[in-house]
C-alpha cells in the first residue's frame, strides 16, 4: 500500500510539473458517516489530501485527487464475529481510506478576487482497509468502493501563485461484496500552488 501511494504521488507530481497548473496540498479533518460511523465514531485528525489540476477553460479546472485518511478508535469489550468464529475482548479499530478520483472544479467568480468560492465533483474509487485488533489477532477487510465526491469551498489569495483554501468534501463509498459503503465528510484546510 505504501509503495502504491508513493508511486501514485510521484506520477501525479510529474503530471503537475509538465502541465504547469495547480497543486493543492491540504489537511483533512474527517468525520465518519453512516456505516463507517457505526464502526468508528471518533473524528479523524490524521490524513493528507493532494490534488493536481489543469485549467480546462476560464473558471473550470480538471485533474486528479488522492489522499489518505486514518480513522481510529479503541472500543470497549465486545464480541466480534467473523464467519463461524467469535472473539470477545477490547478492540482497537482502524480504517484507512484512500480516494483516487478524477475531478472537476468550477469557480463562479473571477480569479482576481481576493476570495474565490468554488464547487466541484470527483468520480473514482475509494480504497478502504478496515482492521480490528484483539491482542495478538487482527481481522482485516480491504475493499475498492465506487465514489462520487461533491465538494464546496473558498480560496483566499495570498500572493500571485499562492492561495489558502478552506473546503468541505463528502466521500460516499458504495457497497461491495466485501464491505458496506464507508463514507465520511472532511473539512480541508490547505494551500494552492499555481503556475504564473
Model pLDDT, residue 137 = 84
Model pLDDT, residue 5 = 52
Q: Read off φ and ψ for residue 102, nearest 5 degrees.
A: -90, 140
Model pLDDT, residue 18 = 44
Domain architecture of the chain: domains with CATH: 2-194 (2.40.160.20)
Q: Distance from CA of residue 153 to its chain's centroid?
A: 15
Q: Is the pTM of this model over 0.85?
A: no
In order along its 196 residues, the chain shows pLDDT tens digits of: 555 555 555 555 554 444 458 999 999 999 999 999 999 999 999 999 999 999 988 889 999 999 999 999 998 887 777 778 887 888 899 999 999 999 999 998 866 678 999 999 999 999 999 999 888 889 899 999 999 999 999 999 999 889 999 999 999 999 898 899 999 999 999 999 987 5
Length of the chain: 196
Query: Coil, helix or strand for 12?
Result: helix
> Rounded to whole angstroms, how far apart are CA atoms 45 and 187?
10
The set of residues, in sequence order, having a beta carbon less than 8 Å from that of 97 and lying 6+ positions away, is 30, 68, 69, 70, 71, 126, 127, 128, 171, 173, 182, 184
The set of residues, in sequence order, having a beta carbon less than 8 Å from that of 138 and lying 6+ positions away, is 131, 132
Q: Distance from CA of residue 116 to its chain's centroid?
A: 22
Q: Nearest-5° angle of CA 116, CA 15, CA 103?
A: 45
H-type alpha helices, the chain: 2-19, 34-39
Query: Coil, helix or strand for 3?
Result: helix
Model pLDDT, residue 195 = 77
The β-bridge partners of 81 are 86
Q: Within 13 Å of residue 6, how many CA atoms lie on the same side as its CB?
A: 3
Amino acid at each position: 500500500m505504501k509503495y502504491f501511494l508513493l508511486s501514485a504521488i510521484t506520477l501525479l507530481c510529474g503530471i503537475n510539473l509538465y502541465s504547469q497548473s495547480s497543486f493543492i496540498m491540504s489537511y483533512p479533518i474527517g468525520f465518519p458517516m453512516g456505516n463507517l460511523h457505526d464502526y468508528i465514531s471518533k473524528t479523524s485528525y490524521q490524513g493528507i489530501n493532494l490534488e493536481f489540476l489543469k485549467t480546462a477553460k476560464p473558471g473550470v479546472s480538471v485533474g486528479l485527487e488522492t489522499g489518505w485518511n486514518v480513522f481510529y478508535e479503541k472500543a470497549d469489550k465486545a464480541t466480534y464475529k467473523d464467519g463461524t468464529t467469535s472473539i470477545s475482548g477490547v478492540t482497537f479499530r482502524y480504517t484507512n481510506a484512500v480516494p483516487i478520483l478524477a475531478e472537476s472544479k468550477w469557480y463562479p467568480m473571477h480569479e482576481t478576487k481576493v476570495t474565490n468560492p468554488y464547487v466541484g465533483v470527483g468520480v473514482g474509487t475509494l480504497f478502504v482497509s478496515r482492521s480490528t485488533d484483539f491482542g495478538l489477532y487482527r481481522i482485516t477487510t480491504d475493499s475498492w468502493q465506487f465514489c462520487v465526491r461533491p465538494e464546496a469551498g473558498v480560496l483566499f489569495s495570498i500572493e500571485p501563485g499562492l492561495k489558502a483554501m478552506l473546503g468541505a468534501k463528502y466521500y460516499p463509498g458504495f457497497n461491495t461484496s466485501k464491505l458496506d459503503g464507508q463514507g465520511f465528510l472532511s473539512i480541508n484546510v490547505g494551500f494552492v500552488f499555481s503556475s504564473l
